[in-house]
Structure 1
Amino acid sequence: MGITLSIIVFLLLVCLWLVIDYKLGRKKHLSAVTKREYPVRNGDLTLFTTGEELFKNLFDEIRAAQEHIHLLFYIVKDDPISNEFLSILMEKAEQGVKVRLLVDWVGGNKVSKKNEKALKKSGVQFFYCHKPKFPFLWYSLNERNHRKIAVIDGKVGFVGGFNIGKEYLGRDPKFGFWRDYHLKITGPGVHDLQTQFLYDYQDRTSEDLLMNTKYFPELQEGPIKMKMVPTDGAFLQEHFTELLNSAEHEVILGSPYFIPSKELVQALKNAAHRGVKIKILIPRIGDHPFVKEAAYPYFKPLMGIGIQFYFYEKGFYHAKVFVIDDKLCDIGTANFDKRSLFLNHEINCYIYDRAFIHYVKGEIRKDLAHATPLTFEELRKRSIFHRGKEKFSTLISGFL
């Protein structure tokens, strides 16, 4: 009995420490974080929806680099496509191109020690960002850099949902076909991606490169209006709420995870009550434990007011896309979940071009053709075990 009591006391103390650590860490973070604003730019965009297309284009651009390569990914793995990626970077560094690579400490934990040593030996400036640190160890462990940014010679940029790994090519049998959205950007908007990368690089290394003009060459404008929107574990809820409040006719939301805050649930309800048609596309399968179950408590109340949910069936759906009428499309790294809202550092691209928005909506229609509508009957048939997982998932939904 004494041992049992000691274990219970120990677990209670651990839970108390986790709560205090998170609350104090969050308070400190919010006192220091600032809202970063970038202007509306005129440039050009290319949308990639498969890993094969994206990686070929990205790798070709990296191979063609003459001066510098700046890369930030949440995940880089130890598999054939990751090793090819890292080999290209090492080759470019040995040619004299300045290569800087940031990888999140949690997401990039699969990079082998052998590759780490080889990268540094070749001259690649490789760093893990967002390492856990005292005094708020639990909070800092969860505050991750989820951005995916590539900038080549300050002239071409990439941002979106793809990381580096075999699953993003559809080569992991667990997930099958992988659907994602990623943008290639030319024009002055690349300056904002560059600025954001250099902020993240300075945060990790204390090296300030923001005033170095060679990283910001003069760039020709293009026909598409866009705006980069970075968030650092704050302000994303505000951005998403503003988007929903601006909707007049239609909202289409695609996300691998659906775990909204109370404020976003209310914004969805308000939009539905205004007569806005809302479609939400999420994957049938989950890529992390409990993530899928954490979404279920939201379905019935929102479906009851006319919001439609669809499960993507072809493989895994990882796109982060938000379309408001025909006036705005948001593609980036942020998911529609509490982790992106309140913990992760993200970056999204707002697009204001009607023709490009129509193109994106066409791609979403292709996704919906591989999706099944969620019905009240399916919700009713959930097992007791599934409902139990939902209850537990709700308790930990902020950290999924």
Structure 2
Amino acid sequence: MPDATDLHRRLLTLDAHLDTPIHFARPGWHFDERHELADDVAQLDMPRMEGNLSGGFFVIYTAQGPLTDEAYAAALASARRRSREIDETLARFADRIGPATTVADATRLHGEGRMVAFRSIENCYPIGEDLGLLAEFHGHGVRMAGPVHVRTNQLADSSTDMPRWNGLSPLGEAWVAEMNRLGMVIDASHASDAAFDRMLELSKAPLVLSHSGTRGFYDHPRNLDDDRIRALAARGGVIGFTTIYLSAMHMSAERAGLFRTMGHIGDLSVSEQLDLARRWNALDATAPMWRADFEDYMKALLHTIRVAGIDHVCFGADWDGGGGVEGFRDVTALPRVTERLLAAGFDEADLEKLWSGNLLRVLAEAG
């Protein structure tokens, strides 16, 4: 059996959903400096990535708001700003990380010893009713997008909200066609079962669930049932296995308040950021958000691989977006996954598929 640490360092390791751009504009926070969870909430930076994570899809996230022209305009401005922040960050550290839009880009950057930065959109709410804006974001390097987040919007029903469309809206169906035309990967995470079913039916290219789990381990609407995981695989798609909803979510009023503050962390002073981390850690010690640990994660991951097949699973832990469980708190723990998968009988070819091959295949097929 190969040495797990050495193998993990050699592999191109990608995560399908990295919320870390939320930190790029923080006063006093630097992507090229190592941050520790003892006094910072970020789960990923370049020093912690080195040897642990080659890169992935950095997310342009916009919170859901009203379905009005005014709100759409504000959301679009926010999404454009986040895209610029990603550009500026990558430009500052071009010797260590580079933008990628194709499989060839990822392979080249990895061969050069640089990290890989794809770009995605979580929640297409900011495009409002103008599907032409997808081409704008495609032009800025976005190669994956999901229609919806935690609340139903103009495109699709959310898995965690009341249905309005019984799947996709008419605009959402047109969105699928435009995504296919542009060669962008459709991300079905957060979509309701009915919306997932319709996207699977309509899309001419395989789907990705960038950060989703299995109801076969924990029954929650954000997770996918085993029959739908099999249907995803049958159409060539990939599920990015996540660390969230391995258990019930303990979202107390205090935790919800901290999450709201986290959403505006770029507006906080350095001292306010430290206070946020202190309060977050104190709450973790007394009322953790998830009652799950690394062993639960591995059990659920192995179940998902058995159901989907080795060609249809990748990784999407939801780092910096609410992910992480006991024993698996940030990207420095990722080599543990490789070690455990080797011990479970998977070989290097299997691990290459799981860590990047499957995700890159779907990207190539979409284009």
**TM range, smaller chain:** under 0.3
Give the alignment's TM-score, normalised by structure 1.
0.24
More strand by share: 1
Larger Rg belongs to: 1
Higher relative contact order (CA 8 A, sep 6+): 2
